[in-house]
Amino acid sequence: MIEPISRPSRGTQLRQREVAERIKQYILHHHLRPGDALPTEAELCAAIGASRSSVREAIKALTALDIVEVRHGYGTYVGKLSLAALVESLSFRGLLSRSDDYQVLSELVQVRQTLEQGLASAIIPALGEDLRGELERLTDEMDERARAGETFIEQDREFHLLLMKPLGNELVTQLTAAFWDVHAIVAPTMPTTPESVRETVAAHRAIVRAASAEDLHGFAEAIAAHYAPVRRHLKENRGH
């Protein structure tokens, strides 16, 4: 027999949310940055006017969101503020059912393609010779692994993060990494063919070629070609 899960009362949930908001305001008010230490539990209780139990519950909730980080034996710190919670939520939604799986993938592909094509005019002039060389090296590795019948997940992920690197926009980089990670979690069973793998490698090479030639239109077309195999699979299997 499965034991019922005890749920906090609505009043408790509201108090937890309110205390969590006070802690967030404390972080903002004191201009704390990721990695900075928060006051001790007693000091934090006094600073925001909350009980120890309420603060502890709020800290648990904020830890799950990576807003704070508890280092046992050391204290509580401002977290990395990553998008880990977004990745977890989207991944779980996609894994719940096949229909959600395809829906999540379809939305991810649309967002990723829109993001990369939309930023093309900023990416291309910012890609220096060294970064273009790194992108070319990653494409060569993808090609070698594809010929050997191996996957190139890590190289693919690094390739798209490098595209965003010269922008110097941390949020864009985090979003790119988060969307890629969800894609990798949700779509491990998506069938591939030798033709679709070769098409994907060729699209990466075309992206580098267009970037080197500062060909904005060619770059956008190569990005679209990169996502074409996934889009075809989603279209063929939608509703199955």
CA–CA separation, 113 and 164 (whole Å): 13
The CATH architecture assigned to 84-237 reads Up-down Bundle (1.20)
Pick from 70, 119, 77, 74: nearest CA to 223: 119
Cite the DSSP H helix spans in 4-51: 10-29, 41-48
pLDDT at 215: 96
Q: Which residues contact 54 (CB under 8 A, 6 or more apart)?
A: 15, 16, 19
| Phi, psi torsion values for 54, nearest 5 degrees | -65, -40
Retrieve residue 59's tokens: 């800290």
Q: Residue 218: is it exposed, middle or buried by C-beta count within 10 angstroms (0-12/13-18/19+)?
A: middle
pTM over 0.95: no
The fold for domain 10-78 equals: Arc Repressor Mutant, subunit A (1.10.10)
* Tens of pLDDT, residue by residue, the chain (240 residues): 444 433 444 445 558 789 999 999 999 999 999 899 999 999 999 999 999 999 999 998 888 778 899 998 889 999 877 766 666 666 666 565 555 567 777 888 888 899 999 999 999 999 999 999 999 999 999 999 999 988 888 899 999 999 999 998 888 888 888 888 777 776 655 667 788 889 999 999 999 999 999 999 999 999 999 998 888 877 776 654
Retrieve residue 150's tokens: 């191996």
pLDDT at 233: 78
pLDDT at 159: 95
Residue identified by tokens 């139990």 is 53
Pick from 115, 123, 160: nearest CA to 138: 160
Rounded to the nearest angstrom, the gap between the alpha carbon of residue 156 and the centroid of all alpha carbons in its chain is: 14
Identify residue 62 by its one-letter amino acid code: L
**Topology agreement, domain 10-78 and domain 84-237:** no
Retrieve residue 159's tokens: 């390739």
CA–CA separation, 74 and 91 (whole Å): 32
CA–CA separation, 240 and 188 (whole Å): 18
CA–CA separation, 26 and 53 (whole Å): 18
Residue identified by tokens 């996502």 is 227
pLDDT at 4: 42
Each domain of the chain, given as residue ranges in start order, spans 10-78, 84-237
- Cβ atoms 150, 142 nearer than 8 A: no
pLDDT at 104: 75
| Phi, psi torsion values for 149, nearest 5 degrees | 75, 20
| Phi, psi torsion values for 195, nearest 5 degrees | -70, -45
Q: Residue 71: is it exposed, middle or buried by C-beta count within 10 angstroms (0-12/13-18/19+)?
A: exposed
